[in-house]
């Protein structure tokens, strides 16, 4: 096969894990985060957008990994759909029944109990010890239920009815109570959700079984701030409540910027008690291995490079394989970076994070652009003979830039008008030059806006010898048609371009 035929027979997957569920296991990079999660050593996975949290979630939920865990006595239960509409989206729609943090705490416990009950009920040979619990859950109409949406709706209805009808102890019509029952209620056969969960835990311990309940896509689940904050704070408090259970474990996957926001606004005293966590950070070696894993999941690439995928563990072979596919540089000059460093720098945001999602999108779009260039035979289609040319990488970056900016707009619509003002502007500013940019458009609150733009990664704060400047990362520039250089006097050099 020639180069263009090789590329046409090459698939690099998707930048979003939910869209590549069937292929993910083939080229997933087994990082330390994965090993610790799979071995049960961590419960909370923090990471930026696109760093691979959902990939970890999917691997636990599907195929070989799930089967292996079940063989060791660990049952994995999804608390959220892998794709499609989020289970919890109904909370955003009903503005008349906004729950406070305590109500959310009860909701999570009812939902988790119901998930466990329906999971056990679906098992063909569940331990006899669960018979009494299942009988009670059936009486409460918490089992049997089909689908996560239905399970969550039943749990939410239970909380909303309690919110409107239960005001004092002893008035509950339920056998399972949200709070601790009085002595009189206990004599009448009532039991709290916590004590029922404790009974489940005791049976699991006796049977040498564990249950892991996974929560992902929480950034998409709650679109209203007044819902997101109490819901997530309550979920983490429930996680801490469950610390007393040995064999019921919650596994939570959450964006680090969301966690930072919900804890910064009101504080979270118990934060120091959350110790079983892992913060995903990708290093250059892992990202290069990620790129090559995508390429070498194709027989066409093995034939082109005359290398096998299982040889990539050798760093020298990995480096050689990379530069068999890509040119040595994208911008030809003595002081310009090598291609791999160029890729990492071009996809970084203002927090200096090179997210796997952007890396995958860049190589995917570069492959597509290379095929188009070859088909039309355009100028500079592939002058150096590599599979992917410098020109294709530059064109691919334009598409990545568009997606990155539009994603930022969708997540922070209040910042769109400010980001738009950088269109056609220079790439490095001082607070004064940004103030001038905003004032021309009659926008105020400059320093607070700069702070927000920095927090979301659109700007990177830099300390120069003479002043503080704000630099727009490369990934945002193509779509906004920005021109390299500073918007202020050249006494502060733009040295890192």
pLDDT digits (tens, 9 = 90+) for 187-205: 777 888 999 999 999 999 9
State the average pLDDT for the chain. 88
Q: How far is CA 264 from CA 49, 78, 259, 315, in A?
A: 19, 29, 8, 41
Alpha helix (H) ranges present in 82-224?
Answer: 90-93, 101-122, 131-139, 148-165, 183-187, 193-207, 218-221
Listed ranges 23-32, 174-183, 387-396; the one with the highest mean pLDDT: 387-396
Q: How far is Cα 18 from Cα 16, in angstroms, rounded to an integer? A: 6
Whole-number pLDDT of residue 126: 81
460 touches 468 (CB < 8 A)? no
Q: How confident is the model at residue 144 (pLDDT cuts 50, 70, 90)?
A: very high
More confident residue, 314 or 460: 460
- pLDDT tens figures, 97-111: 788 999 999 999 999
Whole-number pLDDT of residue 165: 42
- pLDDT tens figures, 281-295: 899 998 999 999 999
Reported pTM: 0.85
- pLDDT tens figures, 232-284: 999 999 999 999 999 999 999 999 999 988 888 788 888 989 999 999 989 99
> What percent of the chain stands above pLDDT 90?
60
Pairing of β 74-78 and β 44-47: unpaired
Measured over the CA atoms of residue 475, residue 481, residue 483 and residue 487, the dihedral's sign is negative
Whole-number pLDDT of residue 362: 97
Structure tokens given for 456: 């979301």
* Max CA separation in the chain (angstroms): 85
Residues 6+ apart with CB under 8 A from 367: 7, 10, 12, 388, 392, 396
Q: How far is Cα 352 from Cα 48, in angstroms, rounded to an integer? A: 11
Q: Which of 18-22, 234-238, 245-249, 306-310 has the lowest mean pLDDT?
A: 18-22
pLDDT at 406 over 70: yes
Whole-number pLDDT of residue 314: 87
Element (H, E) at 47: strand 44-47
Q: How confident is the model at residue 16 (pLDDT cuts 50, 70, 90)?
A: low
Instruction: State the residue for tokens 């994603």.
Output: 407
Whole-number pLDDT of residue 29: 73
């Amino acid at each position: 096969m020639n180069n263009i035929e090789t590329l046409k027979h090459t698939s690099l997957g998707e930048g979003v894990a939910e869209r590549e569920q069937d292929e993910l296991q083939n080229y997933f990079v087994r990082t330390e985060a994965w090993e610790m999660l799979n071995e049960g050593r961590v419960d909370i996975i923090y990471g930026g957008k696109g760093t691979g949290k959902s990939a970890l979630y999917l691997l636990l939920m599907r195929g070989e990994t799930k089967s292996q865990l079940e063989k060791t006595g660990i049952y994995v239960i999804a608390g959220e759909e892998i794709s499609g509409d989020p289970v919890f989206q109904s909370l955003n729609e009903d503005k008349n029944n906004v729950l406070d943090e305590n109500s959310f705490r009860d909701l999570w416990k009812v939902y988790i109990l119901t998930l466990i009950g329906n999971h056990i009920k679906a098992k063909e040979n569940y331990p006899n010890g669960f018979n009494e619990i299942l009988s009670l859950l059936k009486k409460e109409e918490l089992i049997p239920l089909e689908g996560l949406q239905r399970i969550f709706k039943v749990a939410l209805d239970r909380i909303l009815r309690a919110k409107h009808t239960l005001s004092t102890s002893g008035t509950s019509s339920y056998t399972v109570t949200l709070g601790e029952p009085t002595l009189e209620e206990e004599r009448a056969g009532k039991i709290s959700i916590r004590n029922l969960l404790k009974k489940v835990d005791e049976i699991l311990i006796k049977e040498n079984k564990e249950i892991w309940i996974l929560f992902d896509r929480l950034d998409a689940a709650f679109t209203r701030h007044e819902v997101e904050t109490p819901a997530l704070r309550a979920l983490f408090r429930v996680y801490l409540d469950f610390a007393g259970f040995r064999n019921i474990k919650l596994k939570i996957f959450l964006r680090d910027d969301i966690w930072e926001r919900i804890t910064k606004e009101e504080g979270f005293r118990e934060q120091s008690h959350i110790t079983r966590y892992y913060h995903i950070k990708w290093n250059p070696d892992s990202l290069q291995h990620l790129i090559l894993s995508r390429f070498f999941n194709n027989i066409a690439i093995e034939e082109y490079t005359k290398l096998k995928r299982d040889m990539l563990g050798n760093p020298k072979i990995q480096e050689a394989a990379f530069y068999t596919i890509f040119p040595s540089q994208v911008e030809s000059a003595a002081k310009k970076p090598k291609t791999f460093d160029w890729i990492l720098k071009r996809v970084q945001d203002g927090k200096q994070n090179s997210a796997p999602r952007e890396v995958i999108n860049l190589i995917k779009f570069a492959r597509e652009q290379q095929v188009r260039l070859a088909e039309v035979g355009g100028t500079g289609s592939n002058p150096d003979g590599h599979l992917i040319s410098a020109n294709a990488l530059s064109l691919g970056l334009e598409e990545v830039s568009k997606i990155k900016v539009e994603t930022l707009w969708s997540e922070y619509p209040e910042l769109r008008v400010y980001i738009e003002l950088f269109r056609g502007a220079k790439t490095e500013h001082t607070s004064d030059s940004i103030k001038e940019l905003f004032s021309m458009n009659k926008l105020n609150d400059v320093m607070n806006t700069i702070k927000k733009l920095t927090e979301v990664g659109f700007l990177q704060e830099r300390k120069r010898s003479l002043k503080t400047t704000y630099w727009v990362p490369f990934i945002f520039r193509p779509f906004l048609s920005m021109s390299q250089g500073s918007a202020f006097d050249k006494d502060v050099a733009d040295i890192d371009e």
